[in-house]
Structure 1
Amino acid sequence: MEAAPDALPWEGSNSEPSPAIRAVKDITFGSIAGMVSKVFEHPFDLTKVRLQSQVLDSTARFNGPIDCLFRTWRDEGVRGLYRGLPAPIVGAMVENASLFLSYSELQNIIRWVNAQPLSQDLSLPQLALAGAGAGTVTSFLLTPVELVKCKMQVQMLVPESSPNPRLLPGPISVFMSVLRSTGFRGLWLGQTGTLIRETGGSAAWFTCKEFVGMHLIRRRAKASGLSPSEITRKDILPWESAVSGACAGAVFNFSMFPADSVKSAMQTEEELRPREKGVPRPTFLGTARAMYKAQGLRGLYAGCGITVARSIPSSAIIFLIFDGLSRRFA
């Protein structure tokens, strides 16, 4: 009697949940992990964007991340540290749900193309390919959200802005303003930067997490006298998820930071360095050249230190929650 063929990526199996259930889990767990991490990291993300947005200014507003955090808290209070939070909360849900869902489905497609069982772990190059594809998909969903977030995070830096935060436009008003002034296409201002950051960064993020995680799992298995064939990536413990996730967060943010800097500068130019009517919109390469000319590599890495520092616990939280929920509701 012939063996039954392996299931296609979109088909269920006796040992695996159906594609619909798997997708719902990836979306739900990714959204929860993203929301929790974003609440923790938002003040540091706001600091990063404000430091990135001043690279092309003739006079810097802040002397560094600590100065930016302190002055934001002093001048705007706790509410100022969380300015623009609704947009990144939505963005975190979209980003992580899309990343984990796309990553999972692309892994299954890679297995199908290579005639591998659905339960088989992929090699690191295959995981990197799945991660890059997931980042590419996510970038198109994320750019409009980040555009609104960045514009809100520099509202108090605009000279004409009201000193009363309650009179500043909210995320819906900012979104509609962009739509009215630049049209639907304008929502994707900075897409090139987001695409580079998410594609390369997600490949590094997932690959680093899987590499470090499997190293920790195998080390624990060896200490327990188990064979490597007896363990899989699903056997990861909470602390191993956190450690591998922390390493992944640092690698992601440091490796792709210049692309993110250029994107932030492009998305805040209208507020901080408005151009005369009729002047063409900034391009990714044009903005990158201007930033490099202004401050060299230091300008392209403005805010990198605090970003990498906050990404370590933030990414640890994401994978701790995602892996924990995946084990609990397997």
Structure 2
Amino acid sequence: GLSSPLVGSMIENGILFSGFSYAQHLIKKVTKKSEDEPLSMAQYTLAGGIAGTGAAMLLTPVELVKCKLQVQDVEALYHHANSSAANEVANSTAQNTSRIHYKGPVHVIYNTIKNHGIRGMYRGHMGTLIREVGGGAAWFGVYELACNYMMKSSHIQNKDDLPPWKLAVCGALAGVAYNSTSFPVDMIKSRMQTEDFIVSSSGKKLGQKLGKGFVSTAADIYKSGGIRAFYKGCGITIARSVPSSGIIFVTYELLKRNFGRHEYV
């Protein structure tokens, strides 16, 4: 299941940053601001949410493939649990499901479309949409807020003058904000994508839809462990996001400084 997360990460970051830049351009156009004039924090947050909307459409199929591949080796996942929401769901699924062997991403796509049509690839889309819109707003909103604080405290007028280490700190804070707000939704989404079309101990057959929606899946998770069940593995995920989000934003800002001056694509 490694190739799908890598592809998903590249797609997500590419769409998010492109969408964020273009959303800023549109907001400035609507509000009649010049391209050099900064947006308000509320407008930056809105731009982040708009960027997340576009990302969700392409990410849902990618993450469905990732989740199905991660739960097929339930024994390995049970003994070597990872920090992601998908793997936390895999561990709980491991206790009441039989193994399903996929040869790879293409096999998952073929099997899903064969049994459930194109709509099957968008199982859990509502969760992905909520996560990306809310998470995108938090990610970019907190990043811009932190950068604004850094500029004021250092008496700097332009974000381009902030040193990389300060950009990294701002990016790290953004990563914490993103995962803190989006992790429960991601848990629900991952449960939907892994439990809907797999063989279960209750006798459901492959291809037999269980009929669980977003709200009913959330209710099941709550019944299994209360509010804490939505945050299982969240701490490690946040810790992992601190360096990765910092690196992502530093890379983005340095590339923008050296290869382009426009705020939109």
Same fold? TM cut 0.5: yes
Which residue pairs with 1:189 in the alignment?
123
Corresponding residue of 1:112: 29
Q: Which has the greater radius of gyration?
A: 1
Q: 1:95 aligns with which of 3, 9, 12?
A: 12
For 1:286 and 1:249, how far apart are their aligned partners in 2? 29
What residue in structure 1 maps to residue 43 of structure 2?
A: 126
C-alpha contact 1:121 1:232 (8 A) present in aligned 2: no
Q: Which residue of 2 aligns with 1:285?
A: 215
Relative to 1, partners in 2 of residues 1:279 and 1:90: Cα closer, same or farther, differing over 3 Å?
A: closer
Note the 1:213-292 alignment, pairs <5 A: 213-221=147-155, 231-269=157-195, 270-271=197-198, 273=200, 276-277=204-205, 278-292=208-222
Residue matched to 1:16: none
Aligned position for 2:226: 296
- State whether residues 161 and 168 of structure 1, in contact with CA within 8 Å, keep that contact through their aligned partners in structure 2: no
Equivalent residues in 2 for 1:15-164 (5 A)?
Answer: 84-157=1-74, 161=99
Deviation (angstroms), 1:280: 4.0
Aligned identity (percent) is 43
Letter in 2 for 1:290: D
**Aligned residue pairs: how many?**
235
Q: Which amino acid aligns with 2:172?
A: A
Cα shift readout 1:255-306 (whole Å, capped 9, x = no counterpart): 1211111001111113474762555432000100011011100111111111
Counterpart contact for 2:72–2:102, Cα < 8 Å? yes
RMSD: 1.9
Rounded to whole Å, the distance in 1 between the matches of 2:251 and 2:109 is 31
Q: Is the Cα contact below 8 Å between 2:12 and 2:55 reproduced in 1?
A: yes
Contact in 1 for aligned 2:98/2:200 (Cα 8 Å): no
Q: Does structure 2 conserve the Cα–Cα contact (< 8 Å) formed by 1:254 and 1:304?
A: yes
Deviations 1:91-118 (A, max 9, x none): 1111111111111111111111111101
Could you tell which deviates more after superposition, 168-177 or 93-102?
A: 168-177
Distance 1:204 1:301 in 2: 18
Q: Which residue type is aligned with residue 239 of structure 2?
A: A
Q: Which runs of 5+ in 2 are unaligned?
A: 75-93, 261-265
Aligned 8 A contact 2:131 2:185 in 1 = yes
TM superposition shift of 1:236: 2.6
- Runs (5+) with no aligned partner, structure 1: 1-83, 222-227
TM-score (structure 2 length as normaliser)? 0.83
Looking at structure 2, the residues matched to 141 and 219 of structure 1 have their Cα atoms a distance apart, in angstroms, of: 39
Question: What secondary structure is seen at the aligned counterpart in 1 of 2:248?
Answer: helix
> Which letter does structure 2 place at the counterpart of 1:106?
A
Q: Secondary structure at the match of 1:118?
A: coil
Matches of 1:187 and 1:241 in 2, distance apart? 37
The structural deviation recorded for 1:217 is 2.4
Q: Does 1:319 align with 2:249?
A: yes
Give the 3-state SS of the residue equivalent to 2:73 in structure 1.
helix
- Partner SS for 2:212: coil
Cα–Cα, structure 1 residues 215 and 206, in superposed 2: closer, same or farther, change >3 Å? same
- Cα distance in 2 for partners of 1:241, 1:291 equals 37
CA distance in 1, matches of 2:8, 2:250: 19
Q: Are 1:196 and 1:259, in contact at CA under 8 Å, matched by a contact in 2?
A: yes
User: For residues 177 and 200 of structure 2, what CA distance do their matches in structure 1 show?
Assistant: 31
Q: Distance in 2 between matches of 1:264 and 1:294?
A: 15
